[in-house]
A = this chain, B = another copy of it.
């Protein structure tokens, strides 16, 4: 245990007033700290982004609008904006991307969440194959992607409304399914509660669920699983 605690103890972090930055997260968890843009001012996002980018070759900022992107770009000209995902990325790693992550979503309105997952997985070193609008009401559109689904090593399945898609998919594949409920819908959806409960009660084994609208969390988990199954765990 000594070694571990010693390493824990020595982990440096930086206090920039309103946030303490964890520069060694990359070492410990295999990915640098991510900035959740929501609830932060443009100035805060820019400041944190600059500091993190000084120590890392990759950067992810989620839930930001295009104005904030402009402000970040002034300081970090090589960032990229993903309008559908509402995310900013910076990737100077130049590393290859392993195939293996498939992202599916049930309807057009689930697309932003699906894109957040895909962009996250890509930045973490995975290729993300996208199949959108393949809801269960038109089963043939889904079955048409069966081959792609069955060759994946991790699937992110995004759905609102009745949230049945992950269960249907999990019944057809052997790889882990990361289910993401969305708040898309109305009435008895209760802000995504309906698909959330649906996914937690999936009759098909092999499904792990993340928070409503949490595309980032799903993409992160899928990329970790895919990376492990390609290269083995980082020692």
Q: CB within 8 Å of B: which residues of A?
A: 1-5, 8-9, 11, 13, 18-20, 22, 25, 28-31, 34, 38-40, 44, 106-109, 111, 132-141, 143-144, 146-147, 150-151, 153, 160-164, 167-168, 170-176, 178, 181, 183-214, 216-217, 220-221, 224-225, 228-229, 232-234
Contact = CB atoms under 8 A, between A and B. Distances in A.
Nearest to A180: B187
B193 A197 contact: yes
B186 A211 contact: yes
A203 B161 contact: yes
24 contacts: A1-B9, A2-B9, A13-B138, A13-B141, A18-B111, A28-B174, A29-B173, A29-B205, A106-B203, A135-B203, A137-B204, A139-B172, A162-B201, A175-B224, A176-B208, A176-B225, A185-B201, A187-B192, A187-B213, A188-B192, A188-B196, A188-B211, A197-B197, A205-B221
Given A181-B187, A186-B211, 11 more contacts: A1-B146, A28-B174, A29-B174, A31-B205, A161-B203, A162-B197, A163-B164, A163-B198, A175-B233, A187-B192, A195-B201
B190 A197 contact: yes
B5 A9 contact: yes
Contacts of A136: 164, 167-168, 171, 203-204
Instruction: List 4 tightest A-B contacts by C-beta distance, closest first.
Output: A208-B208, A187-B212, A164-B164, A194-B197
A156 B171 CA distance: 22
